[in-house]
Amino acid sequence: MPAEASPLSPEAFVFDAYGTLYDVYSVTARCESCWPGKGAPLAQLWRAKQLEYTWQRSLMQRYAPFSTVTREALAYACEALGLELSVAQMEGLMSEYLRLATYPDVTDSLSRLRTKHAILSNGSPDMLLPLVESSGLRFDAVISVDELKIFKPAPQVYELAAKKLKTEKSQIAFVSSNCWDALGAKSYGFSVYWINRGNAPVERLGFKPDRVLKSLDEILQ
């Protein structure tokens, strides 16, 4: 019999990366400097398309690395907003993804964590590893969906984390600010902490998070 889920004392924490630890909207300033007045709508549409393309490609069974998806999402978002994108601007904006800011609650919360902890991300290693390195955060494992060639919230992605960490799924707490990701992890069988910094409603996907927190500071409380 599998052990009971234990959201309050997990054996391992698994964190989502983009939007949870790393602020994808830290690209906004550079977007704004390229196209004054358009920085915020461009950053929003870029992120929205990036996520849509991961889900659409997974359904199409046409995986491409997150770096490709992110480039294609930027090209689409610029065209949709009527913004001309030069090669230099594309490269400059893509390079921002290698040094996204962490949210203010991240560094201190992770430094207090004595439990095994890892990242599980849609990010391909070419994007994810330089980002983790530049942030100075330390993890027991940085796991990318790239090994499986399918994106979250496919259940086999969450299973990959349990296998890599050699930990029963019921003993893993998955932490994400992306509610659809948190519920995908819940559907697979993790205990789930949804970091709801923006006070959003819970997605209607048939599950509820075990804990809803306003900030990562609360994961150890």
Q: Where do contacts with ligand LAC occur on this chain (CB under 6 A)?
A: 16-19, 121-123, 152, 178, 181
Pick 31 or 131: Cβ nearer ligand LAC:
131
Q: Dump the DSSP string for 93-140.
A: HHHHGGGPPBPTTHHHHHHT--SEEEEEES--HHHHHHHHHHHT---S
Q: Distances from the Cα of 149 to the Cαs of 49, 144, 160, in angstroms?
A: 19, 9, 12
Pick 15 or 87: Cβ nearer ligand LAC:
15
Output the smallest distance, CB 21 to ligand LAC, in A.
8
Pick 57 or 152: Cβ nearer ligand LAC:
152
Query: How does strand 211-213 pair with strand 191-195?
Result: parallel
Pick 13 or 18: Cβ nearer ligand LAC:
18
The tokens describing 186, both together, are: 């819940």
Output the smallest distance, CB 99 to ligand LAC, in A.
16
Output the smallest distance, CB 169 to ligand LAC, in A.
18
Residue/partner pairs of 25-34 with CB below 8 Å, 24 or more apart = 26/96, 26/100, 26/101, 27/93, 27/96, 27/97, 27/100, 30/92, 30/93, 30/96, 31/93, 34/83, 34/89, 34/92, 34/93
Q: Dihedral, CA atoms, 181, 184, 188, 191, nearest 10 degrees?
A: 50
Residues designated as active site: 16
Output the smallest distance, CB 132 to ligand LAC, in A.
11
Pick 3 or 149: Cβ nearer ligand LAC:
149
Output the smallest distance, CB 67 to ligand LAC, in A.
13
